[in-house]
Structure 1
Amino acid sequence: MKIDPTTFWIVLPVLGIGTYLIRLSFLGLLGNRPLPPGLRRALSYTAVAILPGLVAPAVLWPAATGGETDPARLAAACVTLVVGLVTRSVIGAILAGGITLYAVLWL
């Protein structure tokens, strides 16, 4: 799909200004003021809420297999989850999942 250069040069600055304003709303306007406790609690769940949405499609419908569920990726996801829950180590969980994925694919 080819995009019209005029459209591109209109959309690019608009998106840049939009993302700048979003960041300014938190950094510039709130400044050194403390966040309300409810907002702080809600923001602490952001990563936990977004991560499954990013990982699930890559595990259940990976592009590498043409969208078919793959036992190797399911095994790696399960190992990653268990190691993460047991050790509470993000790096350990990622390493264990990666090693499991490559080991199962190699077998």
Structure 2
Amino acid sequence: MTGTAELWIVIVALGLGSFALRFAFLGLVGDRTLPDWLLRHLRYTAVAILPALVAPLVIWPTATGGTPDPARLTAAVATFAVGYLTKNVFAAMGVGALVLVTLGWLL
């Protein structure tokens, strides 16, 4: 276990780093017009975050000890297919959840 002083140094350093990162975008760039190429790239940020968060839970699920689970893989494929075909995030998440719960219950 680390000492109390070391713990507080880490907490304060992480807080300052988080503040600096947010201030760089909100405080320094917040009132300026961004170039079109940067705005075009920033549009894809939200699209990339959800798969990056979900992929490890599908490929290496902790609930199964890291082995791929057919229910999770099928739900991921169904979610991707519905999202691609309908372009509706809520429909895709709903179908994926329904497939995961149904296959979890059946298997």
Q: TM over 0.5: same fold?
A: yes
Shift of residue 52, structure 1, vs aligned partner: 2.6
1:85 aligns with 2:98: no
Aligned residues: 106
Shift of residue 31, structure 1, vs aligned partner: 2.7
Shift of residue 64, structure 1, vs aligned partner: 0.5
Large movers: runs of 4+ above 3 Å = none
1:75 aligns with 2:69: no
What are the Cα deviations for residues 20-58 of structure 1, in whole angstroms up to 9, with x where unaligned? Answer: 111111111113211111211221122233333222111
In the alignment, which residue of structure 1 is the partner of 2:21?
Answer: 22
1:99 aligns with 2:98: yes
Structure 2: unaligned runs, 5 residues or longer? none
1:37 aligns with 2:36: yes
SS in 2 for 1:56: helix
Shift of residue 60, structure 1, vs aligned partner: 1.1
In the alignment, which residue of structure 2 is the partner of 1:51?
Answer: 50
Structure 1: unaligned runs, 5 residues or longer? none
Code of the aligned partner of 1:51:
L
Quote the Cα distance in structure 1 between the aligned partners of 2:53 and 2:81.
18
Quote the Cα distance in structure 1 between the aligned partners of 2:59 and 2:4.
37
Quote the Cα distance in structure 1 between the aligned partners of 2:17 and 2:52.
24
Code of the aligned partner of 1:101:
L
RMSD of Structure 2 on Structure 1 (CA): 1.3
Identity over aligned pairs, percent: 51
